[in-house]
Amino acid sequence: MSPRFTDLLTPAAKSIKASEIRELLRIIRAKKDVISLAGGIPDPRYFPLDELEDIMRVVIKNYGAYSLQYSETKGVIELREPLAKYLYETKGFRVDAEEIIITSGSQQGLDLIGRTFISPGDIVITESPSYLAALGVFRFYGAKLIGIPIDENGMKVELLEEQLRKLRSEGVKPKFIYVIPVAQNPGGTTMSRDRKRYLVELASQYDLLLVEDDPYSYFVFDPTVDTTPLRTIDKEGRVIYMSTVSKILAPGLRIGWIASPPELARRLELVKQYMDLHSPTLNQYILLEALKRELLKKHATRLVEVYREKRDAMISAIEEYFPDYVWYSRPVGGFFVFAYINKPGFNATKLMHTAIEKYKVAYVPGQSFHPDGRGENSMRLSFSYPPPETIREGIKRIGRLIKEN
Amino acid sequence: MSPRFTDLLTPAAKSIKASEIRELLRIIRAKKDVISLAGGIPDPRYFPLDELEDIMRVVIKNYGAYSLQYSETKGVIELREPLAKYLYETKGFRVDAEEIIITSGSQQGLDLIGRTFISPGDIVITESPSYLAALGVFRFYGAKLIGIPIDENGMKVELLEEQLRKLRSEGVKPKFIYVIPVAQNPGGTTMSRDRKRYLVELASQYDLLLVEDDPYSYFVFDPTVDTTPLRTIDKEGRVIYMSTVSKILAPGLRIGWIASPPELARRLELVKQYMDLHSPTLNQYILLEALKRELLKKHATRLVEVYREKRDAMISAIEEYFPDYVWYSRPVGGFFVFAYINKPGFNATKLMHTAIEKYKVAYVPGQSFHPDGRGENSMRLSFSYPPPETIREGIKRIGRLIKEN
């Protein structure tokens, strides 16, 4: 008789469920006639393949065995130093190399933060909607999530203030507030400068930690948009800033970083050590070489052109094909438009299979992005992968779905 | 005022301590006149640099954007299939590609298993001594560790049986038994076939899960040694088998794997998804290409020569310079000799700084490898990094330290 493994699992491992999006993507992949606006993966036609091939050659030539050996848990110092410089140049905040932890993509950053701070029952505040895998991992650690609604200027900070006041009156202190200020996933919204200032002030007033997730601000379509990170506005060391090369270079490298207040960096390092000793040395040297060549900046310029065209295709198609009662975001960056279909009884979750089978189009139902499980009438539409003409056709099909259901 | 982060940490994150070995290695690195037998890192002079450079070129050429894109949490199927074949050819057990999870090194495998099974207070049984980072991560999840002593034939399974009987009488069931059957770290011992059979029988009798960590059996110095994995002996699906390319290719790639019973593989996949979405796609294709070229097998042949010579240098020096009252293992593989200095009052932990300052030699005190905190009179001696003549001189110095203290 084989052991009953289920009895041996932790409660969290027992209750974990498959990601809805991943399962959905699996279904869609098999159906060639379905246009997918579901997945949020970068367009692989724009990976800098030739540059990366050359970079790998140079990494082995210049760093040799060092690039293949065990290395420091925080990440190799040769990378953390120029990365600190790059963050100052592009984001405007000074950070010491010792305050940076290289992670295996943003997801490991989220996991590391969750593992370091969240005990079962702890309160974590997020935007609503917010990044699914962040909600997932915070919940895995037992967090109770409180979602603050967004509008076109990002998190409604006045509602956050109400919530904080309420929690304080109950004697409850949240572990941290998780936000994606620029080109939010899935919201597609960007916080205004005023909202960011207000948020940082609230954090100070209520003595809170902010976790700022910033994968998209490195290629914003409109140069007039304010992309100043919370980290740059904050003067009290309350912001844990995290980002990744997944969107600006290649997700398959799994390299991200956390810039955190110094006393915390040491703690995160100790926790990360148990997770994987360190992120792949080779991949870190690849990023180092890319930074040396200013490939990230050059490539971002190219990505702006590519994704701006795709975003424009989606927005103009929405203007043409969606009825007036749909609210949708107008993203200044990132990969996503988020839409609320304000039509009584419209349920994007229930309509998902109809969309795929009858209308031959796929989106991600917005419900699971909402910490409180609402948002049945919402959907995330991704413009990152398909070419512009396919995006237009996909939106046309969703327009029909909305009108006819 | 900056937030008091310490108040926000989870109890586990608060109590975590820096790894003794890592801190030790940091001290030694600054001292050029000290011979280090402390670290367990592979000799970088034998990384297959040229082959890996060519492999990376071919990966970009053949797999292009696929090698840089997001990929399946379990690992790319193109890798898992030949890896399953490789495991059958080299280890003798059949595993379906769907039962394999690619991890970011063995450490992530240990973390994944810990996270999936261990709740605070759970019992985990290990060898004593055992791999430090495994003990560390199991403890991080709140495991109570029970160590079973080893001798030259590995874990003393008759003592395990006593322990299991005792636990059963108390109504306690361990979550799993963690073992490194071949060329154990730090013990340097290898389980005999009889012991392995006995262990698998006990697992069946007590309805237990075995976690088999096998980084070293791929290059064993003596071809007559039985390296059959527990996984091959077990017929009831009780063994979670894990290994890594860290010792047979390069640790900086951070690629390992878990072959687990099918119903468990799905569960591990879901938990891993929250950890890092997936291990680096690029690094997985590198391993795939290495497997295609049979580089692992070819390279293992070379490694056997290199590390056998180093092991021989260490053992013959020990025979010459260590007093009779020292018990030491005679490893058939791996990187380590373990020694118990059976001299009243000898304390390797306390003598560590004297060793470095006065005798100009470093080892890792054995105490922290013992789940019960004993073993003050033990030390781990690594022969992986230094050349043979340096190993001899290092052992000579430790011999003096032992006799004079």
Q: What is the pLDDT of residues B32-49, one digit of tens each?
A: 899 999 988 999 999 999
Of B294, B311, B340, which marks where a domain is finished?
A: B294
Q: What is this model's ipTM?
A: 0.96
Per-residue pLDDT tens digits for B321-363: 999 999 999 999 999 999 999 999 999 999 999 999 999 999 9
* Domain extent for A90: 69-293
Residue A2 has a pLDDT of 55
Q: Which residue of B has its CA nearest to A123?
A: B8
What gap in Å lies between CA A63 and CA A105, rounded to an integer?
Answer: 22
Written as one string, the DSSP assignment of A49-69 is HHHHHHHHHHHHHHHGGGGGS
| Tally of helices (H runs) and strands (E runs) in chain A | 15, 14
Q: In chain B, which residue's Cα lies nearest the Cα of A385?
A: B69
Distances (CA, A) of B291 to A8, B52, B55, B268, B284: 35, 12, 11, 24, 11
Tell whether the model's pLDDT for residue B20 goes beyond 70.
no
A344 lies in a domain? yes
Cα(B136)–Cα(B18) distance, rounded to whole angstroms? 10
pLDDT at A3: 56
Min distance A295 CA to chain B CA atoms (Å): 16
pLDDT at B176: 97
- pLDDT over threshold 90, residue A24: no
Of the residues A239, A259, A293, the one at which a domain ends: A293
* Residue-level pLDDT at B230: 98
- Chain B: give the shortest CA distance to residue A102, in Å: 13
Taking residues B221-231, what's their average pLDDT? Answer: 94
Domain count, chain B: 2
State the residue for tokens 């940091």: B26
Give tens-digit pLDDT for B288-309.
999 999 999 999 999 999 999 9
- Note whether B277 contacts A: Cβ–Cβ < 8 A: yes
**What percentage of chain B has pLDDT greater than the value 70?**
98
Which residues of chain B lie closer than 8 angstroms to A67, CB-CB?
Answer: 252
What pLDDT is attached to residue B1?
42
Do A278 and A341 lie in one domain? The reply is no
Regarding whether B284 and B163 lie in a shared domain, the answer is yes
Question: Does residue A26 sit within a domain?
Answer: yes
A253 and A180, same domain (yes or no): yes
Mean pLDDT in chain A?
95
The whole-number pLDDT of residue A1 equals 42
| Mean pLDDT over each residue of chain B, to the nearest integer | 95
Question: Are A238 and A101 in the same domain?
Answer: yes
Q: Are residues B320 and B281 in the same domain?
A: no
Give me the pLDDT at residue A20, please.
Answer: 67
Residue A17: pLDDT band (50, 70, 90) is confident
Contact B130, B180 (CB under 8 A): yes
| B132 and B195 co-located in one domain | yes
- pLDDT score of A193 more than 60: yes
B26 plus B138 within the same structural domain: no
Nearest to A19 among B5, B273, B282 (CB): B273
The answer, yes or no, to whether residue B3 has pLDDT greater than 60, is no
Whether B103 shows a pLDDT value over 50: the answer reads yes
Residue B33 sits in the same domain as residue B143: no
Weakest mean pLDDT among A30-39, A200-209, A252-261, B360-369: A30-39
Say if the Cβ atoms of B49 and A60 lie within 8 Å: yes
Q: How far apart are CA A165 and CA A159, in angstroms?
A: 10
Q: Does the model's pTM come out above 0.80?
A: yes
Last residue of a domain, one of B294, B327, B358: B294
Q: B273 — contact with chain A (CB < 8 Å)? A: yes
| B contact test, residue of A4, A7, A10, A66 with most B CBs within 10 A | A10
Domain of residue B398, CATH code: 3.90.1150.10
Please indicate, yes or no, if residue A2 is contained in any of the structural domains: no
Q: Which two tokens stand for residue B225?
A: 């040694």
